[in-house]
Chain A
Amino acid sequence: MAYDKFTVLKSSAVPLPIENVDTDQIIPARFLKATKREGFGDNLFRDWRYNADNSPKADFVLNNATYSGKILVAGKNFGSGSSREHAAWAIYDYGFRCVVSSFFADIFKGNSLNIGILPVTVSPEFLEKIFAAIQKDPKTELEVNLDKQTITLLSTGEHESFQINGYKKHNLMNGFDDIDYLQSMKSEIVEFAKNKV
């Protein structure tokens, strides 16, 4: 599925300083019944965001107008649990294009890259700085530069570089996906498959 190219993102950020946020919190299983990729953003963090009667929980950050932006900043081990790509869809569909944490679960990270969300891994110290800066000024902006592989706190100019493999970076910057690539090498795959049970 096509997604928007990612080059430089300058935005304020939404803080979620909780560790081990699992995919069941990002999108509970009962909202996985669709057969199309539509409307998942409405149920992002459903049970943290809404009461059982669907009224919003005032103390949850997504219900707090003070915080907004295209970047979600979360505690370590973000996205653990199930392989549901719906978790990444919900984050994208809600409007986030980048998630910052000091540690990501594997499958979530792969799923994000595949659908055009950039997971940025920063040091625990830098993560703390970001949380502190947002707490001080909710409008504080971050700049994520994919080409240079840097993330900068614009208020202070403090920055860090992050890792991403060259292939994925190229894809994200150009809006390509793996399926295009795999289609282009079909005959090589068919040949390879001849020796496989």
Chain B
Amino acid sequence: MSKTPSTLFDKVWDSHVVRKIEDGPDVFFIDRHFIHEVTSPVAFLGLETRGIGVLFPERTYATADHNTPTINQHLPVADPLSANQLKALEQNSAKYGISHWGLGNPKNGIVHVVGPENGITQPGMTIVCGDSHTSTHGAFGAIAFGIGTSEVEMVLSSQCIMQPKPKKMRINVNGSLSKGVTPKDVALFIISKLTTAGATGYFVEYAGDVFRSMSMEGRMTVCNLSIEMGARGGMIAPDETTFNYLKGREKAPQGEAWDKALAYWKTLKTDEDAVFDAELTFSASEIEPMITYGTNPGMGIGISQLIPKASDVDGGVATFVKALTYMGFKEEEKMLGKKIDYVFIGSCTNGRIEDFRAFASIIKGRKKAEHVTAWIVPGSHIVEKQIREEGILDILKAAGFELRQPGCSACLAMNDDKIPAGKYAVSTSNRNFEGRQGPGSRTLLASPLVAAAAAVTGYVTDPRELMN
């Protein structure tokens, strides 16, 4: 008898269900758990109040990232509240025997950058973290998603959470990307089509030529942004690109264990006749470099397009008008040529080596625009090292830029890296919500290429004009 065809998502999900509760969620086993300083302290407090411990400390990894300064990391953290959270993470990790990569540790960095780069993230795993961009790890064919603090406490104490199984959506992008179009643009394009609620209730599988030929860094950028279309997560079937990336990484399986793992990983794909609850297909040729003009990631357009009219978009006119007012923009205006004040390149969306290579490819031989402040923040110490070793730092310096130290930085502006009220920032991060990058800040989300073009011209500029 032949088995019913199943999707990649089904295969990974179903093999992690410990118990099914009738008219309720699944008791869902978690292979790897990442924690950081902001969403874990109250969970540890909960364990103490209940008098329970951590069931499998070896399955959890702690890194400090959200709250950390991006200059002078060798000095004590000045903000007492931030310092307190960092200390809590360190103490809780030590107390329960959890591996901890704090400030100054050579493996420290943004949680969704360090997991993959150390080989912790592997195909077929279930991975959670108290951070919504945990979806990043889906690039390896893992089921990965963000959880709340109550759930962090559940994972610490039982290595499980209670989850109803989401519906399944497949998004295909076929053809090949045009010049200057990056994985970030693909994701912003999809979100602009789906809106920020378009995939709520679904888990997405990305398929088609574009993702097949994409690097692991690019796949991580795309899966990272799944949450911005409302999906809990997104995943891409593992293939040779995935295996090559993982081979030899510290926590990846070695020797015989590698061969065994590889045999399993190769089974992780959607069967031919498997059915999805929703399926969408786009053509790569439709996509140009993207930029957002509003206050959610769905408010994006091709860089050469005009801001739409309120009457032409789905959803409430009042909400749309509120967003444009906040941004200081008008309907049917061009984005090209708008003056900008800040450029931020970094975050778990675009803080990997490939992103800095892209950035450098444009600024090489040019100078930073005088009125622009640029924050260039690597996703991890390992990325920082690569930036130095590949000569990217020299290019940055020659153009008048400085490199900061790793962390989340202006992505959520919990540390000192805040965009001032009213200022415009072209940012490679993931959210352009009101005040996300500091109270009153105005964010234009874009790719590293668009960010680089803005950094050297001081205006929203089509990066294709600066590429040979």
Which residues of chain A come closer than 8 Å to B435, judged between CB atoms?
24-25, 28, 47
Q: Which of A139-147, A151-159, A179-187 contacts B (4 or more CB under 8 A)?
A: A179-187
Any B CB within 8 A of the CB of A52: yes
Q: For this complex, into which size category does the number of interface residues on chain B fall?
A: 35 or more
User: What are 9 A-B residue pairs whose CB atoms fall within 8 Å in the complex?
Assistant: A28-B439, A33-B67, A52-B421, A52-B440, A82-B131, A103-B197, A106-B201, A168-B24, A193-B159
Instruction: Give the distance in Å from the alpha carbon of A189 to the alpha carbon of B439 in the complex.
Output: 45
Q: Which of A5-13, A55-63, A64-72, A108-116 contacts B (4 or more CB under 8 A)?
A: A108-116
Q: B197, A80: Cβ atoms under 8 Å?
A: yes
Any B CB within 8 A of the CB of A138: no
- Shortest distance between the CB of B257 and any CB in chain A (Å): 9
Any A CB within 8 A of the CB of B318: yes
Any A CB within 8 A of the CB of B319: yes
Q: Please report A residues at the B interface, Cβ cutoff 8 Å.
A: 1, 17-20, 22, 24-25, 28-30, 32-37, 47, 52, 75-77, 80-86, 88, 103, 105-107, 110-111, 114-115, 165-168, 177-179, 181-183, 185-186, 188-190, 192-193, 196-197
Which residues of chain A come closer than 8 Å to B196, judged between CB atoms?
20, 77, 80
Q: Which residue of B lies closest to A87 (CB)?
A: B148
Contact with A188, one of B18, B81, B164, B232 (Cβ below 8 angstroms): B18
- Shortest distance between the CB of B238 and any CB in chain A (Å): 14
- Shortest distance between the CB of A15 and any CB in chain B (Å): 13
Q: A105, B439: Cβ atoms under 8 Å?
A: no
- Shortest distance between the CB of A181 and any CB in chain B (Å): 7
Contact with A83, one of B50, B130, B201 (Cβ below 8 angstroms): B130
Q: B296, A167: Cβ atoms under 8 Å?
A: no
Q: A106, B296: Cβ atoms under 8 Å?
A: no
Q: A183, B42: Cβ atoms under 8 Å?
A: no
Which residues of chain A come closer than 8 Å to B157, judged between CB atoms?
179, 182-183
Instruction: Give the distance in Å from the alpha carbon of A190 to the alpha carbon of B160 in the complex.
Output: 11
Which residues of chain B come closer than 8 Å to A75, judged between CB atoms?
316, 319
Q: B158, A189: Cβ atoms under 8 Å?
A: yes
Given contacts A80-B296, A103-B200, A115-B150, contact A196 B319 (CB under 8 A): no
Chain B 118-158, CB within 8 Å of chain A: the 1/0 string? 00001001000011101000000000001111110110011
Which residues of chain A come closer than 8 Å to B50, judged between CB atoms?
179
Given contacts A33-B82, A105-B200, A168-B24, contact A186 B158 (CB under 8 A): yes
